[in-house]
A and B are shown apart, each in its own frame.
Chain A
Amino acid sequence: MDFGPFLLLAVMEGLVAAAVLALTAVGLSLVFGVMRVVNVAHGEFFMLGAVSAWFVTHWLPGPPAFGFALALILSPLLVALVAAAADVLVLKRLNYQPQATIVATIGLLYILQQAALSLYGPEARPVAAPFTLAIQFPWFGYSGYKLAVVAAAAVILTGVWLVMTRSRVGLVMRATQIDRDTAQAFGINVDRVYAGVFAFGAALAAVAAVLIVPIRQAHYLMGGDPLLLSFIVVIIGGLGRLRGTVVAALLIGLSDGVVSMFFSPTLAKILATLLVALVLVFRPQGLFGQRAG
């Protein structure tokens, strides 16, 4: 294959990665933005989405498309319930104190990982794609499902943006984000907003996982990479800012796709990790600026 088509293939792979990453990272970013909680268990919510999608499609007879559609609804719901329970039972009782919540979400990470290992097992298992359609380019054929993932992510992200900017729910969330005490004084049930946001953020990660699981298999350790990449995206994009997060996800997803195609993926990850650490060190204002100390 010539360089041109090869690059096109790399870009398309990068777009798929970016789409899923954007969904996951927006979930993380929302939780940090509104609640000021760094959720280390976010990757496990992603994993839980993928694993529960496998259970749904596995136990459901009928065409793969039907099972997949059901998984796309049930998995995020289940993950949202788990997240809401974690918020009410643990995070709320810690008063969302930053260091304690990080320790608690690490604990949650281990519990979810163990639950997946015990109930689902150590194997990686595939989920059938809802449809198989090869789109034939002049140089190579490409999976139509992968392009559908990109489209679906774009639709969902637009939906999230509309909810945040145009609806009453979004207004309440933004009010809580800007000033929790004043919001409470205006009769907003902050506790319920927090539980809702935590559940919603987790559900976004689960949706991303369900979309990607026909391409990559479901595995109980699959949460690590999305967590790390989401952190990178959220930090570069500016914490709690949706548009910045999406732009950063595109940037990271694309460059990760392209760089890993031409260089070692491990080297790409080392450089990205160091870059983000240095961004935080030298430009903390606007990222964690107001929170430092």
Chain B
Amino acid sequence: MRVWGFHLAVVALLFGLQFVLPPYHFTNFARIMVLAVFAMGYNIAFGVTGLLSLGHALLLAAGMYGTGLAISVLGWAALPALLAGLAAGGVMALAAGVLALRTAGVAFMIVTLMFAQAGYLTILYFGPVTGGDEGLVLAQGARVIGGVDLAADTPRYLVALALFAFALLANLALVRSRLGRVMVAMRENEERSRMLGYNPFAVKLAALVISGLYAGAAGAAYAVLFGYVGASFAGIQYSILPLLWVLLGGAGVVLGPLVGVLVMFYLIDLASGYTTAHLLVVGLALLVLVLFAPKGILGSLRERAWPWLP
């Protein structure tokens, strides 16, 4: 009960923030919530199930281009295009997962990295359709659902919040469910769970597909809410960033991704006031995290003060 209340309070807090946030941070927060959904998907694969993927940009891009191309090439309306992006993320995760899950450990990391790289190059190769490096700008008229213009600030914030809230509560329900506990068992000791009669391949594939749906939803929402689809979102950087966010916020903690994205976003925002060296901030953050705080912010908090935090 306390757990549900706490997470609902976080959602309520985000809802209340819209009345106090200045315009600049208002747009930032919409972006942060969408990216946090992507990070939550990564957390389900990495934090909960222990699958360290270096190719999640492929899943984000699948959602993004699934929606973007449905709008720009097929001329679909925003709502079915969003669903197309969601499905694209899940299907891509299924296809990549069936192959990649035959490997484990370091080989899994490299295979996912290679798949994502192949996806990125494919987007560049079909430049005339995908816009290549420059990407696609989605027309304002295509970003309307039920008469509401999603390009305007307030609807954008509310849609991002609705997506985030749904994703957060679904994530919470997942980790407290039977499947979620088996996923954790895979992370902790795959051999023992196999001996207890669980099928590691099926469980891990399920985790990847759920993760892909999250990434697809985030990519699709990003395309419609911000009106831009670009190859840079398929690049290796967007495979590394979710890892960084999840590590920073706390791997395996449901709220970890939100905290990670929020802190990292404003860390870079602050740093860019003093220096243009964003990459340095990212690099140093990774090193400091892996050396001194492998459990992340909320992971440490759970260890010291709030043992009930899921």
Contacts and interface: CB of A to CB of B under 8 A. Distances in A.
Interface of A: 38, 90, 93-94, 98-100, 102-104, 106-115, 117-118, 228, 231, 235, 264, 266-267, 269-270, 273-274, 276-278, 280-282, 284, 287-288, 291-293
Contact of A107 (B118, B121, B287): B287
B106 interface: yes
Contact of A284 (B52, B103, B115): B103
A107 B114 contact: no
B279 interface: yes
A108 B287 contact: yes
A117 B278 CA distance: 11
Contacts of B103: 280-281, 284, 288, 292
B178 interface: no
Nearest to A293: B104
Q: What is the predominant secondary structure among interface residues of chain A facing chain B?
A: helix
Contacts of B286: 103-104, 106-107, 110
B99 A292 contact: no
Contacts of B291: 90, 93-94, 104
B240 interface: yes
B243 interface: yes
Contact of B106 (A98, A113, A281, A282): A98
A59 B273 CA distance: 33
A107 B285 contact: yes
Interface of B: 52, 54, 99-100, 102-107, 109-111, 114-115, 117-118, 121-122, 124-125, 190, 240, 243, 247, 276-280, 282-287, 289-291, 294
B279 A114 contact: yes
Contacts of A118: 276-277, 280
Nearest to B190: A293
Nearest to A264: B125
B99 to A, nearest CB: 5
A291 B107 CA distance: 8
Contacts of A108: 283, 287
B279 A106 contact: no
Contacts of B283: 106-114
B290 A276 contact: no
Nearest to B283: A110
Contacts of B290: 94, 100, 103-104, 107
B294 A100 contact: yes
A110 B280 contact: yes
21 contacts: A94-B290, A98-B105, A98-B106, A100-B290, A102-B52, A102-B54, A106-B243, A107-B282, A108-B283, A112-B283, A113-B283, A114-B277, A114-B278, A114-B279, A266-B125, A270-B122, A273-B118, A281-B100, A281-B103, A291-B107, A292-B107
Contacts of B109: 38, 99, 102
Nearest to B54: A102
A112 B280 CA distance: 8
Contacts of A114: 277-280, 283
B136 to A, nearest CB: 19
Contacts of A103: 243, 247, 286, 289-290
Nearest to B124: A266
Nearest to B98: A281
Contacts of B125: 264, 266-267, 270
B215 to A, nearest CB: 19
A288 B105 contact: yes
A228 B291 CA distance: 26
Contacts of B243: 103, 106
Q: Which of A107, A112, A228, A274 has the most CB of B within 10 A?
A: A107
Given A118-B277, A282-B102, A276 B285 contact: no
Nearest to A268: B121
The 5 closest A-B pairs by CB, nearest first: A110-B283, A107-B286, A111-B283, A277-B114, A114-B279
Q: Which of A235, A269, A280 has the most CB of B within 10 A?
A: A280
A214 B241 CA distance: 34
A278 B114 CA distance: 9
A195 B279 CA distance: 26
Nearest to B237: A110
Contacts of A266: 121, 124-125
Given A264-B125, A284-B102, 16 more contacts: A90-B287, A98-B105, A102-B106, A106-B286, A118-B277, A231-B114, A267-B125, A269-B121, A273-B121, A277-B115, A277-B118, A280-B103, A280-B107, A291-B105, A292-B103, A292-B105
